[in-house]
Each structure stands twice: as structure tokens, then as C-alpha cells.
């Protein structure tokens, strides 16, 4: 079945990739329109070799639309996603606005696509770009022995801050490499070139950043177990695209390294890279891919029930655009979109 689609936030870093991913994955489109802020109205965008004109976001634009793929700031989604849903569309939303709403499923298709049958508000939330690959990597192991506790340190790319992050990255890294004065950051909270930043997000009252609290809460919701312990430290590194994660995960019962490797090697959405053969996941492997790359599986020497692993995924694709398009594919395949 071909559907009427609207891409909202079509001019942003994630929206730009949604346009590409829809074409790459041959998403069944009857009609498509592209919306953004008033500032972008009238600008041209390319889709499948044709030029389209960006429309300003407004209620009338959603008439007849069946699926909305939205990638705007959360405040914009709070206002417009319910309007689109009321007009009859199912919204797949990339912002954090709806993720912890009990009436909105938080979906990673390889992990919990069944949640798409419980859409009460017409809105499906696309999870955080660290939580998505973490859950893709842990689900095949969780199925062998339930996850009890996760300790994760992240190495997050500049593009996690959207198009403005990449402006900072390009200006700073080129100046730094040329030995010139590094321009002051505009999107990041400190210099990124030649540096790492652990407070690149708002600090919440519990002492964790907003990003770390998303990883805590969303991982539990996606894996469907509020008792899982999650201890994250989120860090920005001078990488353009793709987030990496150093993960230590404790299970209810021990899982051998051999069993974990075998499960990961056949897990949906996972590319298992075998350190025994000298392969290990790097951001340059993940950039441009819809897969989650996993490797460096080791027994935790301090805990017989725990394993250590390394996870890398493209934050703009699997962490946002591709996961959203996969959700839309499932909505069509399962006959949820009428």
C-alpha cells in the first residue's frame, strides 16, 4: 500500500537524511510534502531526483496525510504532532517530547515493533540516538538472560547537535588543523576540536545531564523492564557522525563470550565485528549505515555475570532517520496505517 507522507523538519540534519532514507529503502509513497519553519518556506528541497518546495508548518498542511515523519525541536512537536494526529496521521517523532509519555510507544523495530499496535495518541516516539543502538545490541543477549544493570560511557559525535553542531565541527577542526585560532563554539558548550566535552548537555537536578537521563529512562522503557539499572556518562568527542558506546552489562545469569558472540552474529540490525580477526567497530564504519556495529565482547573480569562490549552506530541514521523510517515501514506492513 502506498501512503501520503509529510516530512516535518525537512531542512534539518535528521530531516535531510529522512529524505535520502525514504528513497534508499523504496518506501511506498503515494504523495509527499516537506515542512519546516517559516524561515525555510519556499526553499527548494530535492527528493528522488525531483525538486519540491518547503511549506511552512501549519494545521492545514496535514489534511490527507497518513504518516508524518517529524524531526523538529521538542517544543514544535509538542504543538504540532497532536494537530497532525487529530487530522488522522500517525506521527513518528524524533524529538524527546513524547518518549516517556505512557500513551506513546517508544520503538526500535528490531526490539519492540509489537508496541506499534498500542498507539493511543497517534504518536510513535523515536528513541534517543544512544538508547537505540544500545537496545539493538543488548536485545539478543537480553533474550538469553535478562539484563539487570548497564554501565555505559559514550563517545558522541558533533552531528548529535544537528546542523549547527556540524557548522561548529567544520569551522573548528579546519582552524585547529591549520594551527589557526579556533572559533568559539555556537552549538557545543566548549571547544570540540582537539578536546572532549562531558557537559555538552543541560545538567538536570539529579547531577546527570539531560542526555544521560534520556539513556536511563528510555533504555528501560524500550527493553520493557523498569527495574534495569542504567549508569551512563555521556561525552562529546570530535567525530563528525556516529556515536560509540563502551558498555558493561550484567545479566541475571552468566552468558559465555562464545554464546554472546553467536547471538550477536545473527541478531537483526547488528553487524558483528570480530576482534579475534582484528576487526572492531569504528565511527567510519557506521557512518552512512543503518546497522548497529558491535564488537570487543569480553568477560568482565570483576563480575562473572557481566560482559563488556563496544557499540557504534550512525546517530543521524539508526539513531534517528532510519529508525523512524523503519517504524513507518512496520506501520504499513502491519496494516496499522489505514
Ligand X SMILES: NC(=O)c1ccc[n+]([C@@H]2O[C@H](COP(=O)([O-])OP(=O)(O)OC[C@H]3O[C@@H](n4cnc5c(N)ncnc54)[C@H](OP(=O)(O)O)[C@@H]3O)[C@@H](O)[C@H]2O)c1
Q: Is 26 left (phi over 0), alpha (psi -120 to 50) or beta?
A: left
Q: Which residues contact 204 (CB under 8 A, 6 or more apart)?
A: 210, 212, 213
Residues lying near ligand X in the complex (CB under 6 A) = 9-15, 36-37, 39-40, 57, 71-74, 76, 94-95, 129, 159-160, 162-164, 315-316, 319-320
Minimal distance in Å, beta carbon 5 to ligand X? 16
Question: Which residue, 11 or 244, is less far from ligand X as judged by CB?
Answer: 11
Count of C-beta atoms within a 10 Å radius of residue 285: 19
Closest to 44 measured CA to CA, from 11, 66, 92: 11
Q: From CA 86, how far away is CA 69, in angstroms rounded? A: 15
- Cβ closer to ligand X: 94 or 112? 94
**Residue in 104, 129, 234, 327 annotated catalytic:** 129
* Shortest Cβ 274–ligand X spacing (Å): 28
State the catalytic residue, choosing from 104, 188, 234, 243. Answer: 243
Tell which residue, 192, 193, 188, has the closest CA to residue 211: 188
Q: How many residues does the chain have?
A: 338
142 is catalytic: no
Phi and psi angles of residue 22, each rounded to the nearest 5 degrees, phi first: -60, -40
Neighbouring CB atoms inside 10 A of 308's CB total 18
Q: Of the two residues 309 and 320, which places its CB atom closer to ligand X in the complex?
A: 320
Cell of 199: 557537559
CB of 1 to ligand X, least distance (A): 27
Q: Which of 101, 320, 314, 308 is nearest to 218 (CA)?
A: 101
Q: Which residue matches cell numbers 562473572?
A: 304
Q: With respect to ligand X, which residue has the nearer C-beta, 198 or 303?
A: 198
Q: Which residues pair with 298 in a beta bridge?
A: 308
Minimum CB–partner distance for residue 319 and ligand X (Å): 5
Work out how close the CB of 187 gets to ligand X at its nearest, in angstroms, rounded to a whole number.
9
For residue 129, indicate whether it is catalytic: yes
Q: Which is nearer to ligand X, 40 or 248 (CB)?
A: 40
- The CA-to-CA distance between both ends of the chain, in Å, stands at 9
> Tell me, what DSSP letter sits at residue 12?
S
- Which residues are the active-site residues? 129, 243
Amino acid at each position: 500500500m502506498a501512503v501520503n507522507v509529510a516530512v516535518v523538519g525537512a531542512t534539518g540534519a535528521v530531516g535531510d537524511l529522512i529524505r535520502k532514507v525514504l528513497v534508499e529503502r523504496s518506501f511506498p509513497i503515494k504523495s509527499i510534502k516537506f515542512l519546516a519553519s517559516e524561515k525555510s518556506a519556499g526553499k527548494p528541497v530535492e527528493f528522488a531526483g525531483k525538486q519540491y518546495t518547503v511549506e511552512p508548518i501549519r494545521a492545514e498542511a496535514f489534511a490527507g496525510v497518513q504518516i508524518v515523519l517529524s524531526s523538529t525541536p521538542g517544543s514544535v512537536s509538542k504543538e504540532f504532532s497532536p494537530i497532525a494526529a487529530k487530522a488522522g496521521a500517525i506521527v513518528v517523532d524524533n524529538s524527546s517530547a513524547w518518549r516517556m509519555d505512557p500513551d506513546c510507544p517508544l520503538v526500535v523495530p528490531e526490539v519492540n515493533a509489537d508496541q506499534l499496535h498500542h498507539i493511543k495518541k497517534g504518536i510513535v516516539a523515536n528513541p534517543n540516538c544512544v538508547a537505540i543502538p544500545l537496545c539493538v545490541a543488548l536485545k539478543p543477549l537480553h533474550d538469553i538472560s535478562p539484563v539487570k544493570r548497564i554501565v555505559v560511557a559514550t563517545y558522541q559525535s558533533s552531528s548529535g547537535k544537528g546542523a549547527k553542531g556540524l557548522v561548529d565541527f567544520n569551522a573548528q577542526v579546519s582552524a585547529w588543523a591549520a594551527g589557526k585560532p579556533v572559533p568559539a563554539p555556537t552549538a557545543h558548550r566548549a571547544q570540540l576540536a582537539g578536546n572532549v566535552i562531558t557537559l555538552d548537555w543541560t545538567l538536570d537536578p539529579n547531577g546527570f545531564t539531560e542526555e544521560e537521563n534520556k539513556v536511563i529512562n528510555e533504555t528501560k522503557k524500550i527493553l520493557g523492564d523498569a527495574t534495569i539499572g542504567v549508569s551512563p556518562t555521556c561525552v562529546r568527542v570530535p567525530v563528525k557522525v556516529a556515536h560509540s558506546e563502551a558498555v558493561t552489562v550484567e545479566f541475571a545469569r552468566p552468558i559465555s563470550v562464545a554464546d554472546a558472540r553467536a547471538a550477536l552474529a545473527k541478531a537483526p540490525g547488528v553487524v558483528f565485528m570480530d576482534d579475534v580477526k582484528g576487526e572492531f567497530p569504528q565511527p567510519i564504519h557506521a557512518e552512512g549505515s543503518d546497522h548497529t556495529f558491535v564488537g570487543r565482547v569480553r568477560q568482565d573480569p570483576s563480575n562473572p555475570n557481566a560482559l563488556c562490549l563496544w557499540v557504534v552506530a550512525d546517530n543521524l541514521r539508526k539513531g534517528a532517520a532510519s529508525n523512524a523510517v523503519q517504524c513507518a515501514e512496520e506501520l504499513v506492513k502491519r496494516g496499522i496505517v489505514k
